[in-house]
Chain A
């Protein structure tokens, strides 16, 4: 993945009072007991809408995320790295497949999701609206963006919705390779020649602010957030994820002699919390709403793939097909 980066477009707060009180109580009791929700179960509208939005965004992030990395496959240094990067990108596309199916169990078809992606109606992780200038950028993504995705996915895999948990279990297992591969390619450059060191340092400088916005802005503490946490849809706040990430990766970045381009970044020993320069959330808002360096290219490439592949799908279409959503 690359999920996370929760966007500002909030689901309209549904009025829980309009839900069947008895069913709602049963639903909440099931979650409180640690039982998973399966697609056939009754669920509040807010739960369904929020999960569709989350899982769909996560799926879009996987296929769009494959673009800035995929662009480096032909130029990856050496046969082995080409093979590894190709396998990683294929994994990411596979993650999208798994996630689209999980979202489909909640009642939104793949056709609708793909249409909404291309028409800019649903979002994907904002970090992929930035370009990969050099090979080192692709290494930084493989390591440090995937690392952020893993923090998110590990948290979400303990959520309450069965199909999402099943998909995430498979995804997390595959991500272990991405993280190791990414770490290895960054370490290789950081411990290499002065030119290689400089190249990877510059890529880190370019990507650091994207990394800091990856988990999204601080959650506004609303009743809504509290409900979603109680329902195990949202498993950790954006700030909690960011803090956990900094705890895990700041030392790993520093130990290979790289400098994090934020002079204010430090851990406050009293509070145990990382303090940092607040990322530019104005820019984040602007880019996520379409005005970033690569938004047009990402959606343009996706749309081209849709349109140029349409005749193949049409030729294969089965006129006797009947739609049934995936079972689980």
Chain B
């Protein structure tokens, strides 16, 4: 899981556009409050699909999935484990 999170943080650092930098944010910090726009969240999703070689099912394409590093990690891990949230 920590590998997953550090990879996610790399993606967020490259694409997130967080004014204070991703390093300043905890795993549970609200990414939207930190400046994540819905446009950027789509870009991040694409980058994650590329980085982890996976595809987000429609059921995970919502605001909650990108709320925090932990939430993203939960979603990514779920897909990697082959058990995405009910599709």
Q: Is the A/B pair a real complex?
A: no
Chain B positions within 8 Å of A, measured between CB atoms, are: none
Chain A positions within 8 Å of B, measured between CB atoms, are: none
